Chains A and B, each alone.
Chain A
Amino acid sequence: MTKIQHHLTDALLMGYAAGTLPEAFSLVVASHVSMCDECRARLASYEALGGGLIDGAEEMALSDDCFEAVMARIDGADAPAAPPVRRVRRPGLFPVPLQDYVGGDVEAVRWRPIGMGVRQAILETDREATVRLLHIPAGSAVPDHGHNGTEITLVLQGAFRDEDGRYGPGDVEVATEEMHHTPVAEPGMDCICLAATDGPLKFRAILPRLAQPLLRI
């Protein structure tokens, strides 16, 4: 695989570390982090910030029997914990978090044609935002799939180009509503992407948070 050139923004990594992103966006972040050691390290630094905040937080009084309740819970369930299932890379095109949502690798995807040879498969998440797989024939333009807010696109196979550059496997493009661009799949190999966008049923604007140029630490 060629080196990843386009990474997650700090705002997305911080939102994922904080646990405030919609599930659809979290799936794209988790998939990219699975493919990108640099963003994995940056994510860890935002989680450390969360740890620092909780460590320095003011205390809030607990109920009197809180500790006893926890110990009772532990004693009630203290079977030796099963060794955790390691979620390491499995054969296939998709990173593990995406395989979990698809229920398999690329051959398990239930594609639906959306015109011009392009196919999509919408994955089930909560309704704050939408995430879909897109299959674009080599050499074709990516159709306007109607993002009315922020859209993040992770390339899984093939590549596309637009005014901003070339996006190959592992690269993420973060596009805002104001951006008018016409991505075109490179000739040679069909392009498969994972794209999350603010869903039509979104009432709470996540755009201000995502578009934030929050900083790296």
Chain B
Amino acid sequence: MESPVKTETQDADWVDAMIRVRTQRDRAAFARLFRHFAPRVKAFLVKSGATEALAEECTQDVMATIWQKAHLFDPERASVATWVFTIARNRRIDLIRRSRRPEPEDLPWGPEHEPDQAEALALQQESERLGRALAQLPDKQRDLIERAFYGERSHSEIASETGLPLGTIKSRIRLALDRLRHEMKQST
């Protein structure tokens, strides 16, 4: 299985691309984000049960939203991948589940506060560590987390699909999350 080695600065590069999109409407930077994220957003939507046609339509929507809402991206609060994930998740709720999503109120500070480079860098580095820890999980554990996290399916439905007993699935998910937590602690 090929898994590209991520450099320590990959997430910071995505932040840089987002800022170029926001401040300069930089199409080359947007194209870089598109090449990385669009095929993954589509895969996420298909895994969540969308048809390929709907997933394609929805992916275009998500990518256009990234351009249009670039000014709302705050690198002190989320990595670009996390921000993209929340947009894709919300479009999935609108378009595929046809439901509404109540959002928490905003904190009394917002994107217009004084940016803090160190905070943003620390958050991006932590996201990279989480990404690496996830990549190092055994396939079976990562797969189950993915299904529990993305899927519309309940654990018992996953059980009938994978042929594993429900108890095994639950304990594997727990094991996977434990392992992630451990990795995050070690590398701090």
Contacts and interface: CB of A to CB of B under 8 A. Distances in A.
Which of A17, A48, A95, A206 is packed against the most chain B CB atoms within 10 Å? Answer: A48
Given A88-B106, A214-B173, A217-B181, A53 B78 contact: no
Interface of B: 3, 27, 31, 34, 37-44, 46-47, 55-56, 59-60, 63-64, 67-69, 71-72, 77-79, 81-86, 88-90, 92-93, 97-108, 110, 126-127, 130-131, 134-135, 145-146, 148-152, 154-156, 166, 170, 173-174, 177-178, 180-181, 184
Contact of A209 (B93, B97, B155): B155
Given A51-B84, A52-B130, A215-B177, A208 B156 contact: yes
A107 interface: no
B105 A48 contact: no
Nearest to B173: A214
B60 A30 contact: no
Interface of A: 14, 17-20, 22-23, 26-27, 29-31, 33-34, 40, 43-44, 47-63, 66-67, 69-71, 73-74, 77-78, 81, 84, 86-89, 95-97, 100-101, 125-126, 128, 204-206, 208-209, 212-217
A54 B34 contact: no
Nearest to B83: A51
B155 A19 contact: no
Nearest to A19: B89
Contact of A86 (B77, B83, B99, B106): B106
